[in-house]
Structure 1
Amino acid sequence: MVSRIVPLPMRFQPGPGKRWEFWGKLASLISALAMLATLGTVARAQTSAGASDASDAIHAASQAVVSDPVGQFVQDAWQAFQRGDPKPAQQALPRLRGNLLEPWVAYWAIQPALSTMTEADFDRFAQAYPHTYVLDRLRNDWLLELGKRQDWDDFARVESHFIMRDDPQVQCYALQREFETENRDTSAALLPLWTAQKYGGAGCNSAAKSLLAAGKISQHQLWMRLRRFFQDEQFQAALSFAPYLPTGAWAGINDAAKTPLRMVLDAARSRALPQGMQRQLLVLAMLRLGEQDPQQTMRLLLTRFTDLPPEERADIAYLAARSGALQLLPDAALWFSQARDMDPSYHPGNSTLEWMVRAALRVRDWALVEQASRDFEGSDAQRPDWTYWHAMAQRQLGHPIEAQALFAQIASPWSYYGQLATEALGMPISLPASLSPPRARAVEQQAERPGLRSALALFQLNIYSPAVREWNFTLRGLNSDQIHAAAQVACDQKVWLLCINTSERVKGGVDWSQRYAMPYRTAIAAAAKSTGVNEAFLYGLIRQESRFIAGIRSWAGANGLMQLMPATARWVARKIGMGDYTQDRIIDVGTNVTLGSAYLDMLLHRFGGSEAMAAAGYNAGPTRPARWRDMGLPMSPDVSGAIFAENIPIPETRDYVKHVLANATVYAALLTGQPQSLKSRLGEVGPAPLQQADAEPLP
C-alpha cells in the first residue's frame, strides 16, 4: 500500500483584502529591515528583469531567514509544538526577534497554554504581532477558549476583530452569547449550524444546550438531532443531551447504540407500537440497526413496523439503503425506491441522495437517477457531478434537448465532470490558449507581501501546513490578476503546491504552465519510458499525490513525489532488481519516481490496464479495488469507468481517482498537443478474470 498523505489545508479564506504591514515595531529589526531593503531594491529594478530579480531576492532573503542556526530553532519549535510542547519555542523566541518567522514561533510558544492564558497575555501578543495571520489564528483559538469559559464580555471584544470567521464553533458560541447577553432567540440560526456538524462540536453543542434549557429548541427538534448523531455514529454526543429529555432517556439512548437488535426485536414482539419517548428510542435503535444490518432492517420495516409514521419509516429506510449502497449491496437501489414510496414528501438529505444516485447508477435505473439528482437542495443542486448525472439520466430517458442544455452548463476542459460533459456533447477535450504570464511588476508587488515571504520561508523548512494557511490568508481580497502574479511568485520559487493551488483561483482562463506545472521532466519521462506507464498518467498521479513536493512525508510515513511507504519501496526495489537501494534514497526524485512508476505498472497489469482501478489501488491499496470491481453485481456486464469511480465507497479515494484521471487528460493534451478523451481513459470496469485468482499479492 502506497498511501497516505494527509490533505493539507488548501482553503482560501474569505474577507476584505488588506495590505499587510510588517509587524516590526520592536527595537531589534535588523534582519527584517535588511530583507525589506533588499526587496525595495528589487522593486526599483527594470521591468524586463523584474520577475527574475524578485525571485532571486526572495530566495536570498528566505535563505537568510531559514539558515542555521535560525532554521533549526524554527524546525525544533514546530516539531515540539506538534507534540504539545511549547518549551523549544519559548527558548528560541529571544533569538528570533525581528526574524520573518518570529510571529509563528511566538504562536507556538503560547498556544499550548491556551487553557491558562489571560486576556492580558492575548493583548500582549496582539500588540506585538498586529496584522499577521498568526494573530488571527490565535484569535480563533482564544475565542474557542473564551466560549468554553462563557466569558462573553471578552468574547465580544475579541470577536469584533476576527477576520477569518470560518469556524462554525466560534459562530455557535457567538449565537450563544447573543442569546444569553442580549436575550435574542438565536435558535433559527443555530439549528442548521448545529445539524451540519457531524460531532455537533463544543461550541454548537454548548449553544444548543443553552437554548434547550430555555425552551427555545423543542423536544421534537432535539430528537431529530439525535437521529443525525446516530446516523453519524456519534453516540457520546447523543448521550450528552439525555438530561434535556424525560427520565430514562440516557439508558434508552445507550441501549439503542449498543444493543439495537435486542431493542428492535423486543418491540417487534409487542402487540402495540411504543409511543412517546419509547418510540423515539425505537427509531434510534432501528437507525443503528440500519447501519449494521440494512437487509434485516428493511425486512422489519416492510413486515412488522408498517404502523410507524411514514416520516419515521422513510428516515430509517433511507439510512438502511445508504448503508447498503456503501457496502455495494445489490438491493440498495430497490431499498431507496421503497424508502421513497414510504413517504414521497420526505427529503432524506443531500448526503443520502448522493448514494441514491450511485446505487441507481450501478443497476442502470435511470429513472431513479433522475429523481434523486433532481432532489438536491441548496448549492449541491448546482454541483457539476449531480448536474452531469442528471443530464445522463435525461438522455437515457429520451430527453436529449434537456440533456444537452445541462451538459453545456458544466462543459470545460480542466475538471473531471467538465471533461465528461464536453465529450457527452460530442466534442474532444482540447485546451484553450494559455493566459499570458503575469507582468513582471505585478509579480514584484506580490513578492513584497510579508505573508507570502513568510509562507515561502516555512516551506523551505518543510513546515507545510502553516505555510499553506498563511499563504491563503494573505491572498484574501486579491483580484484575479494579483492572484495570478502571486502564483508566479510560488512557481518561481519551485513551491509547486502553492503555485498550482493559487493558479486554480485565477478567473477568466488558465495559465497552463502554472496550473499544470511539469517539474522533474527528465526523471518522470525516464520512469515512464522504462516502465511503459503513460507519462501523462504519471504526472496526473504525482500532481494529486504530492503536488510535486519532493521531500514531503505524510503522517502515515509515505514519502516523496509518489508518496511511497517504506515497505512498499523496499519490495518494489527487490522486484525490479534495484540492488543498491537504501531507505535514505526514498525521497530522491529519480529513485522515488522509478519505484513509484514500477509499482503503478504492476497495478495496471493487475487490473487489466484500467487506469481508474490502478489509481484506486495506488490510493487505497491493491485489494480494495478488486472487491469494488464487481460493484455488488458479480454477474452483471462491465460498467463504465465513470460509474465505477462514482461508486468507490471511500470519499478520499473516490475524489482521488477523479482528480488523477482529469489531471492525466490535461497533461496528455499538453504533452502531445492533441485532443484527448477522458471517457477512453476511464474505460470499462467489470469482474476480475478467473486467471487472476492466483496472482501474486501486491503490498
Structure 2
Amino acid sequence: MFLPKLVSTIVLAATAVGGIDARAQTPQPGGVQYASAPVPLSPAAAASRADDDNFLLLREAARQDDASAAASYAARLPAYEIASYVDYYRLKPRLREASAVEARAFLERWKGSAIADRLRNDWLLELGKQRDWANFDQQLPLFVLNDDTQVKCYALVSRALKGERVTADARALLINPPAYGEACALLIATLAQSHQFDRDDLLAQLRLAGETHATGPAKRTAALLGGAENLTAQAVDLPALALARGLGASSIDHEIYLVAIGRMARTTLKLATVALEKNAPKLSPQEQATGWASVALAASMTLSPDAYAYWRRSAGAPLSADQLQWKTRIALRQLDWAMVRETIEAMPPQLRADPAWTYWLGRALLAQAPGQREQAHALFTRIADLNNFYGQLAMEELGLPLSIPAAGAPLASFEIAPMAANPGLRRALKFFSLRLRFEGTREWNWELRKMGERELIAAAEFARQNDILDRMVNTSERTRTEFDYTQRFPSPHNDILQPTTQSLGLDRAWVYGLIRQESRFITDARSGVGASGLMQVMPSTGAFVAKKIGLTDFVHTMLTDLRTNILLGANYMNMVLANADGSQALASAAYNAGPGRARSWRATLNAPMEGAIFAESIPYLETRTYVKNVLANATNYATLFENKPQSLKARLGVVTPSGARVNQLP
C-alpha cells in the first residue's frame, strides 16, 4: 500500500562541497554501490573534523537555549573558520539577558553579514517582548531582510502607540493566525483599544482564526468582542459540542456558533448544513451568508458537487482571502466566467495581482466580454515575462512562442574568480559540507542581493562547479535581462536517465521537470516523511515498484543509489501515467499526493476539464503548486531538448472523467 508523499516542506540534505558524493565507491552486484572502507584521516583533518563536531554541538546547544553548554563548546573553537557563527551561537541563548551594549558590539563586529542581520532579527523580537520601543525603533531600519511577521507586528504596535494610523498595514499583515505569536496578538489588542480596529475587523480575525484552526488567536479575539474564551475554544476544537449547545442569544454568540459551523463542515458537511438550516430563522441575512461561506469553503476543499450552490448562497458575506480564491476555483470548474470575474475583482489588490488571478481575470474577460480583448491582453502582458506556469499560459494567449531566450556571452574565468573568493559564498560551501543547508542557503542568498545580472550568472556557474545544483538553479532564475537556461534547467545524469526513459517510452522532459521540482537535483535529498533521493521515492513506493519490475533484492537503503532511484522513480511515473490515461497533469498530482487522492479528484469530474483549471483546483496547496511547476518545467525542458517552441496548453490537455479500470495503483 502506498504512503502518500504529501509533505509541507522537503528537508533537503546538503551535497558535499567537492562533489555530489565525494565518498570512494566500489562496484557491487546489481549496479548498487556502497561506500568502500574509510581512509584514515591525517592529524590536520582529524583536528578539523573535531572542530566541526564541536561546532555542530555548539549549534545544537544554542538551539536548545543552553547558554552554559554553548559557552563551553564555543571556548573550544578559538579560531574556527566560521567565527561569526561561533559568536552568534554563544550569544543567542542569553540574548534575553544580554545588554544593549553587547548586542550592538556583535552587530558592529559582523556588520554587513547575514548572521548580523539574523541577530538583529532575534534582538528585535526580544526588544518587542520587553516593550523597549526606543531601541526597537533604532534597530528596525537597520534590519535588512525585514521578513519576520512578528517583528512587523511589533513595528506596527510601536507606531500605533505613537498615535500613527496603521489600520491598513495591519489588515494586510494579519492574514495567518497560526503564525501570530505574542507580537501580533499584542497588535490586535492595541488596535482594538485605540479604536483603529472596529468590530468588523475583529470579526474578520475571529473567522480567520476559526478557518485556520488557530484556537489561541480565536479565544483572544472573541474576548475583545465580549465573547467567552472557553466557548470559542470549544467551537474551534470540538465543534460538535458547540453546535449541540445551541446558537446563543448575543451577536458574538452567533459569530462563535458560525465558527463552529465552519469547523464542523471540515469533518462532515451534512451536520454543518443541517445545523445552519435549523438556525437560519434566528440568524440575520449576513450571518446566514457568512455561515454558507464557511460551508462552501469546506465543500470546495473536497471538490464537493454542492460547493457551487453553497457559494451562491453566500452572497453578501465578507470573504477571507482563502474563501475568495476557492470561490474563484469552483466558478472556474463550473465555467461561470461572470462569477470568476466578480470574485477576482473583489480580491484585495495584492491578491488580485497574483499571476494566477491576473491570468484567470483575463480569461474571464475574453469569455464573458469578447470586446474586452485589449483589456485582457494587457493583463496577459503584465505576467508574460514570468517564466512560470501562468506566465507561459499568458504568452500562449498572446500568441507568443514559448521559446528559450538566447544565452549571453560565455563567462570568462575572471568573472567566476570573485565568486570563489567571496567570503559569504565560501561560508555557504562550508555549511553545505556540514549538511547545514538552511545556513548555507541563507549565506548564499545574502550575497546574491549585492550582485548584478552578470555576477548572478557567474555565481550560478560557481555553484555548478561545486555540484550545488539547487543553488545554481535558484541563482540563475534571478536574472531578468541575461539568461543561461542550461543553468536554470540542467539535465545531469542523462547517461542514466535517457536510456531508462527511452525503454519506458517516457517523456524525458517531464521526468526532468519532475526531478527539478522534487529535489532540485540534490541526490541525497530526504523529506520529512522519508522520501529519498533525486526522485524522492518513498520506501513503500520503492518496494512496490521493485516488486513489479522484478528487482528482487530491493531494500530501502538502495533508494540513495542514483541508478536505483532513477529506475524506481521513472517506473513509478510510468505507472501513474498509465493510470491517468496519459494525462501528465493528473499523473504529476498522483506522484506527489498519492494515486488514491488523484483518483478521488478525478472522480469529481462529470465532463472533460481543461488541464489548467484542473491544476488550479487541486485541493492541496502543495500538490497544486507542484503540478503547475512540474508541467512548466517540462515545457522548458522540451524546448531545450527539441530546440523548438512548445505549448504548455497542449501538455496540460484535458483531464477526463475516470472510467472503469483494472489494476489501479493502491
Which band: TM-score by shorter chain? 0.7 to 0.9
Q: Is the 8 A contact 2:7 2:622 kept in 1?
A: no
Secondary structure, aligned partner of 2:174: helix
Q: Are 1:573 and 2:552 counterparts?
A: no
Aligned length in residues: 631
Q: 1:681 aligns with which of 643, 651, 662?
A: 651
Q: Is the 8 A contact 2:205 2:221 kept in 1?
A: no
Q: Are 1:388 and 2:359 counterparts?
A: yes
Q: Map 1:142-541 to 2 at 5 A.
A: 142-180=123-161, 182=162, 184=164, 186=166, 189-213=169-193, 217-246=197-226, 249-258=228-237, 260=239, 274-294=249-269, 297=272, 304-305=279-280, 308-340=283-315, 343=316, 347-397=318-368, 399=370, 401-402=373-374, 403-411=376-384, 414-426=387-399, 428-541=401-514
Post-superposition offset of 1:629: 0.7
Cα 1:494–1:199 shift into 2, 3 Å: closer
Q: Could you list the per-position Cα deviations for residues 585-610 of structure 1 after superposition, in whole angstroms to 9, with x for gaps in the alignment?
A: 42222222122112222222222222
Could you tell me how far apart the structure 2 residues matched to 1:463 and 1:232 are?
A: 31
Q: Is the 8 A contact 2:206 2:222 kept in 1?
A: no
Aligned to 2:122: 141
Post-superposition offset of 1:398: 5.2
Q: Is the 8 A contact 1:430 1:675 kept in 2?
A: yes
Could you tell me how far apart the structure 2 residues matched to 1:597 and 1:582 are?
A: 18
Whichever residue aligns with residue 507 of structure 1, its letter is R
Whichever residue aligns with residue 206 of structure 1, its letter is L
Whichever residue aligns with residue 393 of structure 1, its letter is A
- Of stretches 679-688 and 69-78 in structure 1, the one that deviates more from structure 2 is 69-78
Could you tell me how far apart the structure 2 residues matched to 1:444 and 1:74 are?
A: 29
Post-superposition offset of 1:76: 5.0
Secondary structure, aligned partner of 2:449: coil
Could you tell me how far apart the structure 1 residues matched to 2:105 and 2:449 are?
A: 25
Q: Are 1:614 and 2:584 counterparts?
A: no
Cα 1:557–1:285 shift into 2, 3 Å: closer
Indicate the RMSD between aligned Cα atoms, in angstroms.
Answer: 3.3
Could you tell me how far apart the structure 1 residues matched to 2:228 and 2:424 are?
A: 52
Post-superposition offset of 1:189: 4.0
Aligned to 2:616: 646
Post-superposition offset of 1:291: 4.1
Cα 1:531–1:86 shift into 2, 3 Å: farther
Could you tell me how far apart the structure 2 residues matched to 1:673 and 1:370 are?
A: 37
Secondary structure, aligned partner of 2:49: coil
Q: Could you list the per-position Cα deviations for residues 79-126 of structure 1 after superposition, in whole angstroms to 9, with x for gaps in the alignment?
A: 666666677765553454444423234434443455555545534533
Aligned to 1:68: 49
Could you tell me how far apart the structure 2 residues matched to 1:552 and 1:105 are?
A: 27
Q: Is the 8 A contact 2:546 2:552 kept in 1?
A: yes
Aligned to 1:50: none
Cα 1:65–1:212 shift into 2, 3 Å: farther
Cα 1:129–1:638 shift into 2, 3 Å: same
Post-superposition offset of 1:618: 1.5
Post-superposition offset of 1:623: 1.2
Aligned to 2:85: 104
Q: Could you list the per-position Cα deviations for residues 44-85 of structure 1 after superposition, in whole angstroms to 9, with x for gaps in the alignment?
A: xxxxxxxxxxxxxxxxxxx99996344444455556666666
Identity %: 34
Could you tell me how far apart the structure 1 residues matched to 2:206 and 2:197 are?
A: 13
Q: Which ranges in structure 2 are unaligned for 5 or more consecutive residues?
A: 13-43
Could you tell me how far apart the structure 2 residues matched to 1:611 and 1:533 are?
A: 11
Whichever residue aligns with residue 304 of structure 2, its letter is L
Post-superposition offset of 1:542: 0.7
Could you tell me how far apart the structure 1 residues matched to 2:178 and 2:167 are?
A: 18
Secondary structure, aligned partner of 1:431: coil
Post-superposition offset of 1:129: 3.1
Q: Could you list the per-position Cα deviations for residues 300-319 of structure 1 after superposition, in whole angstroms to 9, with x for gaps in the alignment?
A: 65675256444433332222
Whichever residue aligns with residue 636 of structure 2, its letter is V
Q: Is the 8 A contact 1:4 1:555 kept in 2?
A: no
Secondary structure, aligned partner of 1:616: helix
Cα 1:397–1:188 shift into 2, 3 Å: closer
Whichever residue aligns with residue 392 of structure 1, its letter is R
Post-superposition offset of 1:474: 2.1
Cα 1:648–1:4 shift into 2, 3 Å: closer
Q: Could you list the per-position Cα deviations for residues 21-54 of structure 1 after superposition, in whole angstroms to 9, with x for gaps in the alignment?
A: xxxxxxxxxxxxxxxxxxxxxxxxxxxxxxxxxx
Cα 1:291–1:587 shift into 2, 3 Å: closer
| TM-score (normalised: structure 1) | 0.81
Could you tell me how far apart the structure 1 residues matched to 2:175 and 2:635 are?
A: 39
Q: Could you list the per-position Cα deviations for residues 657-690 of structure 1 after superposition, in whole angstroms to 9, with x for gaps in the alignment?
A: 1100110111011111122222222232233331
Q: Map 1:618-697 to 2 at 5 A.
A: 618-631=591-604, 633=605, 636-692=606-662, 694-695=663-664, 697=666
| TM-score (normalised: structure 2) | 0.85
Could you tell me how far apart the structure 1 residues matched to 2:296 and 2:342 are?
A: 16
Q: Is the 8 A contact 2:107 2:119 kept in 1?
A: no
Whichever residue aligns with residue 669 of structure 1, its letter is T
Q: Is the 8 A contact 1:6 1:554 kept in 2?
A: no
Whichever residue aligns with residue 599 of structure 2, its letter is A
Could you tell me how far apart the structure 2 residues matched to 1:377 and 1:399 are?
A: 25
Q: Could you list the per-position Cα deviations for residues 621-673 of structure 1 after superposition, in whole angstroms to 9, with x for gaps in the alignment?
A: 22110111123x4xx12212222211111101100011001101110111111
Post-superposition offset of 1:167: 1.1
Secondary structure, aligned partner of 1:329: coil
Post-superposition offset of 1:369: 2.1
- Of stretches 312-321 and 459-468 in structure 1, the one that deviates more from structure 2 is 312-321
Q: Are 1:589 and 2:557 counterparts?
A: no
Cα 1:520–1:283 shift into 2, 3 Å: same
Q: 1:544 aligns with which of 504, 517, 520?
A: 517
Cα 1:463–1:214 shift into 2, 3 Å: same
Cα 1:210–1:368 shift into 2, 3 Å: closer
Q: Is the 8 A contact 1:437 1:511 kept in 2?
A: no
Whichever residue aligns with residue 660 of structure 2, its letter is L
Post-superposition offset of 1:446: 3.8
Q: Is the 8 A contact 1:66 1:460 kept in 2?
A: no
Whichever residue aligns with residue 279 of structure 1, its letter is H
Whichever residue aligns with residue 151 of structure 1, its letter is D
Could you tell me how far apart the structure 1 residues matched to 2:177 and 2:455 are?
A: 34
Post-superposition offset of 1:128: 4.4
Q: Is the 8 A contact 2:341 2:364 kept in 1?
A: yes
